[in-house]
Chains A and B, each alone.
Chain A
C-alpha cells in the first residue's frame, strides 16, 4: 500500500542523546513535512521541504534539523534531546501543489 512509513513507532530517549526519526514515502511527492503534536493540542510544523535538496523552517524548528537528499526520505534529527521534545511526531507528504496531504502513523518520543 502506497504511503508514508515512519520509524520507530515509539522511543524512550535519555536527555542529551541524539536521535533520528525516519520518514520514507513511495508516492513520489515533491513536498514533505514534519509536525509535532503535544497532548491535547493541534499539530505544529517543525520543518518542511518543497523538493529534494531544499528545506525550510516551520513554526517550531529549534532543536531539530532535517535533510532531503532524495525525493523519498526526509529524516528528522534531534541533536541533543530535551524533555520538552517529548511529543508525537508526524511526517507528511504532498504533491507539488499541496492539494492532498498524506500523513504517517507517527513516532511517539519520550525524553527522560
Chain B
C-alpha cells in the first residue's frame, strides 16, 4: 500500500472549515484513499473514502486531486468534538479479499473555541 504524508498537527477555529491535507504521491490506480479519526482514548472511526471522484457524506468531504497524488479532508463547520487525530490511509480494495489498514502518525486537529 502507498505511503502517506500528513502534517503532525493543525488548529482550526470552531465553526470554521477544517482542511486536512494528505500526500500520497506513490498511489496506484486501484488504491483508495480512506480517512479515519481517533478521538482521545476511543477506537478509530471511519469518516469517508474515495477512489478518484470527490466524495461527500454527513461527516465530511473528500477532495482528491486529478493526478490522485494528494487529497484534502474537509470538515465544513468544525466543532470542539472534532478535536482528534485524523488518519489518511491508502490501500487497495479487492472484492472478496479483506486487507488490513496501515496507520501512520496522522494529524492532530485541535478545534479552538
Contacts and interface: CB of A to CB of B under 8 A. Distances in A.
Nearest to B85: A42
B46 A101 contact: yes
Interface stretch (A11-19, A69-77, A79-87, A102-110): A102-110
Contacts of A44: 103
A71 B91 CA distance: 24
Q: Interface size bucket, A side?
A: 20 to 34
Contacts of A30: 98
Nearest to A91: B43
Interface string B68-110: 0000000000000000000100010111111111111110000
Contacts of A45: 100-102
B89 to A, nearest CB: 10
Contacts of B101: 33, 43, 45, 92, 98, 101
Contact of B43 (A58, A97, A105): A105
A42 B104 contact: yes
Interface in A13-68: 30-31, 33, 35, 41-45, 48, 50-51, 58
